[in-house]
């Protein structure tokens, strides 16, 4: 997958992933305290003189000309929205992007130090320094031009039969090149004690099948630009038939898109779990050389079955393999090798790659500084070694202690809430309580760091380093097959500004980099922290009970309907989620591009449930005491202000379209508006009444928790 698209797909884009990350790792589930403590009362405060707490609210961003009862998001963020310009090298800008920039600066300082004489104290640190130096060595890359790719291009040119394509795809999977399908090793959804090798659809150069199949003017224009981009890239690679090949490649990708499943279909964990004994793969794709694929992929002998996420797609791909001429397939594979490694080649390839994937597709006018791209490559390739250094320098133990207290309180609030839900039967409540009791929490950084001793980095061989890093990660996952599930593993580095829940491991994970203002402010009063990072914690916990997570038991095993719900409770739950689909689908960030309420359902459930539970946890933490008034706002008001300010963001129109088509999250403006409208406590806090634009009649509000 193209690196720009890989970042969008794999980083969960903002907070929460639902089923998206196939993660593993678990820590002991913390027992809820008998009486929830204030977040600031963790052990880090004992015996020390603490400075006076601040409100943590960015009042300088307020637009007081707007009534909070009419547009709370603009009231909180209006001045920022009016005065902030999206930087030329970004498709969007807001709290997440700002924190990511801060993280890049910090990582840059670490890497620069390692590159100085005597800076690297061990082999792992030297690999970080060497990989970064290779990326920054532009003169060498300009001298080499396309030469580093010649071996891979020659491999494709040497194909004499379509029978050889299965082995080629396995090789491309290993080195990280887009191919018609891609494997993923993760915990077996029907047996939480095992890993499984899972084949999923892939093979497109555009973000989603809709870019090929829907006919809005913007998508039609992007299709034309994409085909022209393919032609220009092939011309740079001395393809004498660049125009004809570009046309054929685009036609083949369009045909692949037609047989792919939609993102909404792919949200169904039962539909996408299709177990195939290796002996039955021939029935899925008759004539396909599965023996070659299984041998070259390294799977043979490690497992006796695979999971195929989209069986009809694999059959459709096999049909296209038979009916599409070999020269077209060779052009297609050459194109994706060239495109995926273009950021690691000479300037003409880098610039043309960015001209499409940055400017045409996302509206970004300027490529990021090279040092940022270099830091990003190191983070992607050897990120946990870099993260170990990041944690030692930038993540104080006190922040982890206070976060632990927040998480304890959120779990306590969920536990109390589950026991009072009027739409859940006692049987379902008990199952929910069992799942909550086994929820694992991971805060800051992993307890066991990843071992990169098998990764070979050669200074001056950038493309070789990138391929070897991709293959190292491939092999690291492949070798899990047949081994016990490692529940200490993380799927995000500590320096990632994000968080996730994994249903297969029933765990929530909060990397260190997100645990800073405005999400988490150790100097701030509890109200803003519960409204910001508390809502994020609640968001992630609630993924265990959303429309996807609720299909997994406490140990991460996928259940058949109605799962751990009773049939009646499942019907009640679906009625509420259908209402939430309709509520969000009524909004459109751009004309003609409404929110896809079905695609975003899990994240919308999490946003609404997370805010609701965080509010309850905040009040539990007060233990009956009155919250102070700070900056003229009550505790409840600061709670909601803290929530709205974490979602301040501006996004270019092309990126809005990209996210509407491919992102399971709603746009930030709606994430920072709709959940408050569904919560009666917000009306009380800001005196919202019928006739105000933020007011929803009680029978129109969607509540789950």
282-341 pLDDT per residue, tens = 999 999 999 999 999 999 999 999 999 999 999 999 999 999 999 999 999 999 999 999
Q: What are phi and psi of 92, to 5 degrees?
A: -150, 165
One CATH from 2.40.30.270, 3.40.50.720, 1.10.1380.10, 3.20.20.370 for 146-344: 1.10.1380.10
Q: How far apart (Å, rounded) are the C-alpha atoms in residues 668 and 535?
A: 14
Contact 152, 171 (CB under 8 A): no
Q: Largest alpha-carbon pair distance within the chain?
A: 78
Q: How far apart are CA 27 and CA 142, in angstroms?
A: 47
372-382 confidence digits (pLDDT tens): 999 999 999 99
Residues forming beta bridges with residue 590, ordered by sequence position = 593
Distance of CA 522 to the CA centre of its chain: 26
Tell me how far the alpha carbon of residue 459 is from its chain's centroid. Answer: 31
Contact 384, 493 (CB under 8 A): yes
pLDDT at 516: 92
Q: Could you tell me if 343 and 373 are in contact, meaning their C-beta atoms sit under 8 angstroms apart?
A: yes
CATH code given to domain 64-85+406-440+524-700: 3.40.390.10
**Helix (H), strand (E) at residue 307:** strand 305-308
Q: Is the CB of residue 472 less than 8 Å from the CB of residue 454? A: yes
State the span(s) of the chain assigned CATH 3.40.390.10.
64-85+406-440+524-700
> What SS3 state is found at 609?
helix
Give me the residues of the chain with pLDDT under 50, please.
Answer: 1, 3-13, 15-48
Look at residues 370, 341, 338 and name the one whose alpha carbon lies nearest to residue 135.
370
Within 84-216, residue ranges assigned H as helices are: 95-115, 123-136, 138-144, 150-157, 165-175, 210-213
| Burial of residue 388 (number of CB atoms within 10 Å: 0-12, 13-18, 19+) | middle
Which pLDDT does position 400 carry in this prediction?
Answer: 87
The pLDDT value recorded for residue 34 is 29
Q: Take residue 151 and report the two structure tokens written for it.
A: 């071996």
Burial of 561 (0-12, 13-18, 19+ CB in 10 A): exposed
Which three-class secondary structure state does DSSP give residue 378? helix
Rg, C-alpha atoms of the chain: 25
Helices (H) and strands (E) in the chain, counts: 29, 9
Q: With beta carbons less than 8 A apart as the criterion, state whether 211 and 222 touch.
A: yes
> Is 611 within 8 Å of 674 (Cβ atoms)?
no
Alpha carbon distance 532, 541 (integer Å):
14
- Spatial strand order in the sheet of 440-444: 440-444, 507-511, 500-502
Domain with CATH 1.10.1380.10 in the chain: 146-344
Alpha-carbon separation of residue 454 from 221, 295, 471 (angstroms): 45, 22, 11
CA 331, 337, 339, 342 torsion: positive or negative? Answer: negative
What is the b/e burial string over 254-273, where b = at least 16 CB atoms within 10 angstroms of the residue's CB?
A: bbbbebbbebeebbebeebb
Q: Which two tokens mark 611?
A: 């805010």
Contact 180, 169 (CB under 8 A): yes
* Tokens found for residue 253: 């990708």
Q: CA–CA separation, 491 vs 24, rounded Å?
A: 7
Q: CA 605, CA 546: separation in Å to the nearest integer?
A: 6
Query: Is residue 630 within 8 Å of residue 59, measured between CB atoms?
Result: no
Name the token pair of 633.
């706002």
Instruction: Quote the CA–CA distance of 551 and 272 in Å, as a whole number.
Output: 13
Pairing of strands 507-511, 500-502: antiparallel
444 Ramachandran zone, left/alpha/beta (phi>0; psi -120 to 50): left
pLDDT in tens, 439-489: 999 999 999 999 999 999 999 999 999 999 999 999 999 999 999 999 999
Global confidence as pTM: 0.93
Q: For residue 182, which of 1, 338, 340, 6 has the smallest C-alpha distance?
A: 1
| Tokens describing residue 156 | 């494709």
- What does the pLDDT read at residue 377? 98
Place of tokens 């177990």: 275
pLDDT at position 592: 96
Provide the residue count of the chain.
705
pLDDT score recorded for residue 50: 58
Residue-level pLDDT at 14: 53
Asked if residue 309 lies in contact with residue 199, where contact means CB atoms within 8 angstroms, the answer is: yes
Q: Is residue 632 reached through a cis peptide bond, with omega within 30 degrees of 0 on the bond before it? A: no
Cis peptide before 574 (omega within 30 of 0): no
Q: Which residues contact 242 (CB under 8 A, 6 or more apart)?
A: 231, 232, 234, 235
According to the model, what pLDDT value does residue 2 have? Answer: 52
**CB–CB of 656/667 below 8 Å?**
yes
Instruction: List beta partners, residue 633.
Output: 630
Instruction: Residue 525: name the closest of 75, 57, 62 by CA.
Output: 57
Q: Which two three-digit tokens encode residue 4?
A: 């720009």
**DSSP-assigned letter for residue 424:** S
Sign, Cα dihedral of 482, 488, 494, 498? positive
Distance CA 107, CA 110 (A): 5
């Amino acid at each position: 997958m193209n690196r720009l698209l890989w970042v969008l797909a794999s980083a969960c884009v903002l907070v929460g992933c639902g089923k998206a990350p196939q993660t593993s790792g678990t820590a002991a589930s913390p027992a809820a305290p008998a009486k929830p403590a204030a977040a600031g009362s963790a052990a880090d405060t004992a015996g020390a003189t603490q400075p006076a707490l601040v409100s943590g609210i960015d009042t300088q961003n307020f637009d007081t000309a707007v009534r909070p009862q009419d547009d709370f998001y603009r009231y909180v963020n209006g001045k920022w929205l009016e005065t902030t310009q999206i930087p030329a090298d970004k498709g969007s800008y807001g709290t997440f992007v700002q924190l990511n920039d801060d993280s890049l600066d910090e990582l840059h300082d670490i890497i620069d130090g390692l590159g100085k004489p005597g800076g690297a104290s061990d082999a792992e640190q030297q690999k970080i320094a060497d990989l970064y130096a290779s990326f920054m060595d532009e003169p060498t890359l300009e001298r080499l031009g396309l030469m580093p790719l010649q071996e891979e291009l020659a491999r494709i040119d040497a194909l004499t039969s379509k029978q050889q394509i299965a082995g080629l795809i396995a090789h491309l999977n290993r080195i990280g090149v887009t191919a018609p399908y891609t494997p993923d090793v993760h915990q077996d959804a029907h047996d939480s004690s095992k890993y499984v090798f899972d084949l999923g659809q892939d093979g497109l150069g555009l973000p989603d099948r809709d870019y090929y199949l829907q006919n809005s003017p913007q998508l039609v224009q992007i299709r034309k630009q994409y085909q022209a981009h393919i032609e220009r890239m092939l011309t740079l690679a001395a393809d004498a038939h660049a125009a004809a090949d570009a046309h054929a490649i685009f036609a083949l990708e369009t045909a692949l898109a037609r047989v792919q499943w939609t993102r909404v279909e792919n949200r169904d964990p039962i539909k996408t779990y299709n177990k195939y004994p290796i002996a039955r793969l021939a029935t899925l794709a008759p004539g396909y050389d599965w023996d070659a694929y299984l041998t070259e992929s390294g799977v043979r002998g490690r497992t006796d079955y695979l999971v195929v996420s989209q069986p009809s797609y694999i059959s459709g791909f096999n049909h296209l393999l038979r009916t599409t001429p070999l020269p077209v397939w060779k052009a297609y594979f050459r194109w994706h090798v060239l495109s995926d490694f273009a950021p690691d080649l000479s300037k003409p390839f880098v610039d043309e790659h960015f001209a499409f994937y940055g400017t045409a597709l996302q509206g970004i006018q300027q490529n990021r500084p090279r040092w940022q791209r270099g830091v990003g490559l190191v983070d992607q390739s050897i990120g946990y070694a870099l993260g170990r250094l990041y944690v030692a320098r930038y993540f104080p133990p006190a922040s982890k202690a206070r976060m632990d207290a927040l998480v304890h309180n959120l779990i306590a609030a969920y536990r109390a809430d589950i026991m009072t839900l009027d739409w859940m039967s006692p049987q379902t409540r008990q199952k929910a309580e069992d799942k909550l009791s086994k929820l694992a929490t991971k805060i800051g950084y992993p307890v066991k760091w990843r071992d990169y001793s098998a990764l070979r980095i050669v200074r001056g061989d950038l493309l070789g380093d990138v391929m070897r890093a991709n293959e190292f990660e491939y092999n690291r996952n492949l070798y899990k097959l047949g081994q016990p599930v490692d529940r200490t593993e993380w799927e995000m580095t500590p320096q990632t500004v994000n968080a996730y829940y994994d249903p297969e491991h029933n765990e929530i994970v909060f990397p260190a980099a997100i645990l800073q203002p405005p999400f988490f402010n150790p100097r701030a009063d509890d109200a803003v922290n519960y409204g910001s990072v508390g809502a994020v914690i609640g968001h992630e916990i609630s993924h265990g009970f959303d429309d996807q997570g609720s299909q997994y038991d406490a140990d991460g095993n996928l259940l058949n309907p109605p799962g751990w719900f009773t049939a009646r409770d499942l019907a009640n739950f679906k009625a509420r989620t259908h209402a939430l689909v309709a509520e969000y689908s009524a909004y459109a960030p751009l004309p003609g591009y409404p929110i896809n309420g079905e695609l975003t359902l899990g994240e919308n459930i999490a946003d609404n449930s997370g805010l609701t539970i965080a509010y309850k946890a905040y009040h539990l933490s007060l233990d009956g005491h009155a919250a102070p008034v700070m900056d003229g706002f009550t505790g409840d008001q600061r709670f909601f202000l803290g929530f709205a300010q974490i979602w301040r963001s501006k996004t270019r129109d092309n990126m809005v379209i990209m996210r509407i088509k491919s992102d399971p999250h709603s746009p930030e403006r709606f994430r920072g508006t709709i959940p408050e409208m569904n919560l009666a406590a917000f009306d009380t806090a800001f005196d919202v009444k019928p006739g105000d634009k933020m007011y929803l009649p009680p029978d129109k509000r969607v509540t789950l928790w």
